[in-house]
Amino acid sequence: MSSVERIFDPLTITDLKHLKGLALREHEAFFERNPHLKSAYHNWLIGICLCQGAASHYLNTKVGVKDFDIWHFYVETGHRNFPYRFRKTIENGYKGRPIDFLKRAIPKDTYDSSLRDPKQTIMKYLLERNTKSKRCLLRKAIIGLSPNTIFGRVLWKGDL
């Protein structure tokens, strides 16, 4: 996508609140679409983060936004396998830009060893295992959306 297709208006706390609301609705909708996973994962949401370009744009408006990547991180309970590489896209999402909702399960031992702190757990997970998707995530910023303890906080600055 060229820079013409990006939006450059600053993202504010109000925007983050709106994105948080959309992400929480997607959390509920995911389990409505996948009721077989509800008992294993619904109550094990660690955190929700705005990632990639939109998160970097929140810190530096020169980046621009072509889409919104919102990641949900769950504790891997071992009761059922979590769908590998889950992704749901809303084409005409927030501010007319697409929204990609992505979900990952984090091993329970990573969660426990991070004192069940959302920021520590998410960052330990991203930093401890070297995969293509994790390397890609860490190139750009990560901003907390939920729970409230990480809302609006910069979890990772990326390569600004």
Nearest to 66 by CA among 77, 75, 74, 55: 55
Q: Give the whole-angstrom CA distance, residue 57 versus residue 11.
A: 7
Cα distances from 127 to residues 64, 139, 151, 156, in angstroms, run 26, 12, 21, 11
- CA distance between the termini of the chain: 19
pLDDT recorded at residue 2: 43
pLDDT recorded at residue 160: 64
Of residues 1 and 53, more confidence is placed in 53
H/E stretch holding 29: helix 13-33
Helix (H, G, I), strand (E, B) or coil at 32: helix
The structure's pTM equals 0.94
**Per-chain mean pLDDT for the chain:** 93
All domains in the chain, ordered by first residue: 3-156 (3.30.460)
Residue 47: CB atoms within 10 A of its CB come to 22
H/E stretch holding 14: helix 13-33
Per-residue pLDDT band at 131 (split at 50, 70, 90): confident
Residues 59-117: pLDDT tens digits? 999 999 999 999 999 999 887 889 877 899 999 999 999 999 999 999 999 999 999 99
Q: Give the whole-angstrom CA distance, residue 51 versus residue 156.
A: 9
Q: Which residue is associated with the tokens 């970097």?
A: 56
Evaluate the omega torsion of the peptide bond into residue 147 and state whether it is cis, within 30 degrees of 0. yes
pLDDT recorded at residue 45: 98
Percentage of the chain modeled with pLDDT above 70 = 97
Residues 42-56: pLDDT tens digits? 999 999 999 999 999
Q: Give the whole-angstrom CA distance, residue 57 versus residue 135.
A: 19
Q: Give the whole-angstrom CA distance, residue 125 versus residue 108.
A: 10
